[in-house]
Amino acid sequence: MDVMLLAGTRPEALKLAPLALALDAHPALRPVLVHSGQHPGMVEQALEPFGLAADVWLDVPPRVTGGQAELVAGLLPALDDVLRRHAPAALVVQGDTTTTLAGALAAFWLGIPVVHLEAGLRTHDLAAPFPEEGARQMVSRLAALHLAPTLGAAAELRAEGVARQRIAVTGNTVVDAVLEIAARDLPARDTALALLEMEIAEAGERLVLVTSHRRESWGEPLERTLAAVQLIVAEHPDVQVLFPAHPNPEVRAQVEAALDGLPRVTVTDPLEYPDLVRALRLASLVLTDSGGIQEEAPTFGTPVLVLRDVTERVEVVEAGCAWLVGTDTERIADTAAHLLSGELRPAQVGNPYGEGNAAVLAVAAIEELLGVGSPARNQAVAS
């Protein structure tokens, strides 16, 4: 049986990669990786460290406006065609992107079971994050199987009326991904990161990693974050800042205008995933609006300041691994100072998003959905 995995963005590809590897080892299920084309180049980059590549590329017209309506209008006919031709036993979509929503719609219309990886995340505010909160709520209405990363996510789904037997708590596959890449301990490929790593080691300095990519963070919120970065550098002479900047030209220009020429600040292009994992391991502190980094950093005990007013990843805050600070300049700088001074310390409780076995648990749930099992599993049941 073919199980189709749909990815259009880097985070989707990273979280689907462990599941693709687990399915590839299965005797009865075969993964088919489909690239929607939402972010050309990024999906390939994310899959490559895992030895994976897309099996199918959607034939989507080039985007002109870059709007959501244009993207969906291109994706739906292409998805419908691919799903009809391949007739997979199920379609796995991940998270809350436009690709995820379009894939769920196309599969639902054809009667193909939709498996939602990382299901049940909620802020209950359709404006934050936008449009992700709306997308994941809509996908939840269509999914046949909900792979929830935490007990809290499963509880959210049950509160919305999803039947318990359609929910499997698996942990988050990004923990599988980060552990696999970290175990390889690959040297930095980005020249700036490699040089920065040497400087920090020689001078006994500390690294603060900063990322800000969400659309709602652009403009004034990012300006406040950049002002906080300036304060952190000024107040902590042993700190080096690494800021992999969003590729959007306006965002990159805003970052460079605020940080160019500032001592002990390095602005780079977005890092390849092995380099990002290396930076997370090296960092003493992370400032981010990224959902994935909130899930990855606890693996290394790295404290996180979440540059958002609300987060759907409440477990990391409740566990004492992260602090929700928004984009208020003083609040960011003050909380960073408390962490860098040791007055605040992250709880050493492990990663609330799992231990690295999420893909195995997800495959077991998909087996049950499709009515198949591995020989070993069948023998265990029989005995």
What's the distance, Cα to Cα, between the start and end of the chain in Å? Answer: 26
Residue 175 sits at the vertex; the CA angle it makes with 169 and 176, to the nearest 5 degrees, is 90
Nearest-angstrom CA–CA distance, 297 and 288: 11
Q: Is 96 a catalytic residue?
A: yes
Q: Is the peptide bond preceding residue 187 cis, with omega within 30 degrees of 0? A: no
| DSSP element (H, E) containing 146 | strand 145-148
Q: Considering 116, 224, 236, 246, which one is annotated as catalytic?
A: 246
Smallest CA-to-CA distance from 37 within 88, 79, 84, 92 is with 79
Nearest-angstrom CA–CA distance, 319 and 347: 7
The conformation of residue 113, written as its DSSP 8-state character, comes to: P
Residue 337 CA: distances (Å) to CA of 154, 284, 285, 344: 36, 12, 10, 9
Q: Considering 30, 86, 206, 213, which one is annotated as catalytic?
A: 213
Q: Is 202 a catalytic residue?
A: no
User: Can you tell me which residue has the tokens 């219309």?
Assistant: 109
Beta-strand ranges (E) seen in 170-295 are: 206-211, 239-244, 265-268, 285-288
- The tokens describing 95, both together, are 């998270």
| Identity of the residue numbered 276 | L
Q: Is 355 a catalytic residue?
A: no
Smallest CA-to-CA distance from 11 within 44, 36, 46 is with 46
Judged on CB neighbours under 10 Å (0-12, 13-18, 19+), 206 is middle
Phi-psi region of 249 (alpha: psi -120 to 50; beta: other; left: phi over 0): alpha
211 touches 307 (CB < 8 A): no
Q: Considering 10, 35, 116, 132, which one is annotated as catalytic?
A: 132
Q: Considering 10, 35, 96, 272, which one is annotated as catalytic?
A: 96
Q: What are phi and psi of 50, to 5 degrees?
A: -95, 5
Q: Is 158 a catalytic residue?
A: no
User: Can you tell me which residue has the tokens 């994935």?
Assistant: 292
Q: Is 213 a catalytic residue?
A: yes
Q: Is 166 a catalytic residue?
A: no
User: Can you tell me which residue has the tokens 């997800």?
Assistant: 362
Nearest-angstrom CA–CA distance, 68 and 267: 29
Where in the sequence numbering do the catalytic residues fall?
Answer: 96, 118, 132, 213, 215, 246
